[in-house]
Structure 1
Amino acid sequence: MKIFASRRRRLVGWSVGGVLLALYLVAQALYSTGVYADWRDRRSLDSACGGSLAQGGLEDALNSSHVRARAVGDSESACLINRPDTDRHGGALELTLRWSDQSAPSEALVPFGRNANGVQGQAAPLGGGWPGFVRYDGTAQVVVALDCRNDRNRALVAYGDLVQWPKDARTRESVLTGLGRVTTETARKAAAEHGCSAQAGERLTRVSLPSANAGTAARPLAQAQGSCVALRGLAGQASDAGTPGVLEYPADAHTPQVNCYLLTPAGKPGYGLYAYYGAVAKDFRSIASAPRGDDYASATATCPQSDQEAVFVLYRLYDRDTDGYPVRHYSASFAGSALKAFADHEAKQRGCARVRMATTP
């Protein structure tokens, strides 16, 4: 009997050892072939940005079907998505989500401080019915601000920053469109998950960068058709003020930031006009956006989409290349007329009311 018991123990031991060896070999195979890494990376995407990350567009944004995510800092609302081979081929983006009743991250406020410097503060509308825009200042950023229709004092703001362009991408447009899709669809998903009833847009199929060179996009103000169309009737006054040309963007009644630039005969931005709405207007007003002494004018209006007043601003622009102002003498009367025409037109497009002109301190 002892012989049989000993034999059974050896058989059990061999069986357990065989199972453990098989499991080890399977684990080694999964690890060495990359199956485990793929599974782990897919799991990281599912939990990224508090579980709100929408994965549509990621492949285009990073030019790879194999991407992974991790939290940024201690916040569940910010995540970094990159490729395993980012060090060699680039391809990384960061998404940040916040509510408008929270303070904006300091880096999100930086562009507002550049408004008086040429076209550095420019942004182009995303299109597709999305309340968002795209910036480009060496790196691309997409911003979406979804107003909660069930809480007029609240909005979800999403920032998508392309930290590294994928070096092996065929076109910039596909990367930028992917970034736009990831940011907009993540914003929509997060808003729904947190009970924010928001008006979103359509799936983005094309996102274009703002013009990097004002001179190549200039046209006479009298021919304006987009964001500067309200100033066509002031073409004569604008010419007398030294800015007969215009740099504009597609007209869009959804974007929370609108830009219009008036150009000198040399194609230099001389005056810049900006409109801000909702959460973006709140962020703009949270900083000293124009240094004391700058030549500028401002106005506000009450809009139905948000409890936050819309803000309209005009600056005389500084040219860093020449260390001076392309428009040598600031015309307060022209600035007031231009801003009033711009603000009235914008307010009408949005259903806003009570445009009020203000003077800067």
Structure 2
Amino acid sequence: MKKPVIATVAVSAVLVAGVGVVYVTGTYDGWRDGRQLKSACGGLVDAAETQRALGVHRVSGKRLGDGCRAFDPDSDKGSLEVSVHRGRELDELPLDEIRDPALQLLPVRGGWPAVVSAGGGAKAYATGSVPCGKSADDAVVVSLRAVRSSTGTDADRRGALARLMTRALKNAAGKQGCALPDTKDVKDVAPGFDGMKAPGEATGTCRGTGLRSYEAVADSGAPIEQCVPAEPDGGREFKITAYYGPYAKAPRHDPHRSPYDYVGASGNRGGKAWTTASCPAGEALYTIEPLTPSSPSTDLERHILQGFAADSAQRHGCGKPIGADKP
């Protein structure tokens, strides 16, 4: 008569043991992931914030030069690469994402010298810099490249990426002994480039053009600013960009561009036009580029560039761009 009781106890013991195995295994995975992430990334990333930003349940890490890679060890659906550059390395800043005509960048704001990609797709990009010396060559630059799952709204994704960016930038600056400007905690990122402004209605990065356009919020701390003039039908034919601090060098050292692009203080070549201005952090570069190969640079586009450059330069405390005083 006691056998059923014994059997029940035995089954219960097995079930409890099984739960214990699962629990211990899950705890061990979390402990191992945390150690690997801390060893690889130090304080550049936070595990919980990275999980939320990538939409994954686990995140481990490995070292990549002066940066690191955080990733989901269970799949290839979530990863984050953090790169840190300074000094001579700034001549070779990896700006593949910025070269992409489809990429638009939004300012993080809150005093942070950083920008994040506007899109809500699986891939995301962010970059920021902190002055650390007398010239732009002494700056610390941090860049993030993320591959995310499909969870969350576009606004949630931008906010999460901005928080990852500010944490990494703060940590990298501290390790290099560089002082951050006065900053505030970032909760969200203002949207941009999602609605066409009528001629004369732009109040952000396109204000100086006076044209119908797609724009971002203007921010004096943004190291990169962009404006996309619009065609009457809403099409996007050109992109105008301002590069400040260490970013001004990147387009001129881009191996995918012609070595004659952006040579000198101002000029035009191959459908592109550019100008420069003297700024507290060194020379700034302003460019206008076609988004399609069939869009040549004309006198009108160069005039638009001057208006954009003059407005952005004033916002960043720079002198007048070359040619801004010409009709």
TM-score normalised by length of structure 1 = 0.71
Asked whether the 8 Å contact 1:30–1:36 carries over to 2, the reply is no
2:201 alignment partner AA = Q
Q: What runs of 5+ residues in structure 1 fail to find an aligned partner?
A: 1-24, 236-244
Alignment-mate amino acid for residue 198 of structure 1: L
When Rg is computed on C-alpha atoms for both structures, the one with the higher figure is: 1
In the other structure, the counterpart of 2:232 is: 265
Task: Say which of 146, 149, 152 aligns to 1:166.
Answer: 149
From the superposition, tell whether residues 330 and 80 of structure 1 become closer, same or farther in structure 2 (CA, over 3 Å).
closer
Deviations 1:167-212 (A, max 9, x none): 4x2434323322221222111112112211232632221136654x
Alignment CA distance shift 1:178-1:112 (3 Å) = closer
Say if 1:31 and 1:217 are closer, same or farther in 2 by CA, change over 3 A.
closer
1:155 — aligned with what?
139
Alignment of 1:27-176 (within 5 A): 32-49=24-41, 51-55=42-46, 57-64=49-56, 66-72=58-64, 75=65, 77-87=66-76, 90-103=77-90, 108-114=94-100, 119-135=101-117, 136=119, 139-148=123-132, 153-163=137-147, 165-167=148-150, 169-176=151-158
Let me know the Cα RMSD of the aligned residues: 3.0
Q: How does 1:5-24 map to 2 (within 5 A)?
A: none
Instruction: Tell me the CA shift for residue 352 of structure 1.
Output: 0.8
> Is 1:312 paired with 2:286?
yes
Would the alpha carbon gap of residues 155 and 92 (structure 1) be closer, same or farther in structure 2, given more than 3 Å must change?
same
Alignment of 1:337-356 (within 5 A): 337-356=303-322
* Per-residue deviation, 1:150: 6.4
Residue pair 2:273, 2:297 contacting (<8 A) in 1 also: no
Separation in 2 of the partners of 1:112 and 1:186?
20
Extract unaligned runs of 5+ from structure 2: 1-16, 262-268
1:303 and 2:279 matched: yes
* Corresponding residue pairs, total: 294
Give the residue type in structure 2 aligned to 1:54.
V
- What is the TM-score when the length of structure 2 is the normalising length? 0.78
Q: Which amino acid aligns with 1:318?
A: T
Encode CA deviations 1:292-344: one digit per residue, 9 max, x unaligned.
Answer: 7522321111111x23x10011234426xxxx43xxx7531x23322222222
The 3 A distance-change label for structure 1 pair 260 and 152 is closer
Classify 1:151/1:192 alpha carbon distance in 2 versus 1 (closer, same or farther; 3 Å): farther
Give the corresponding residue for 2:246.
279
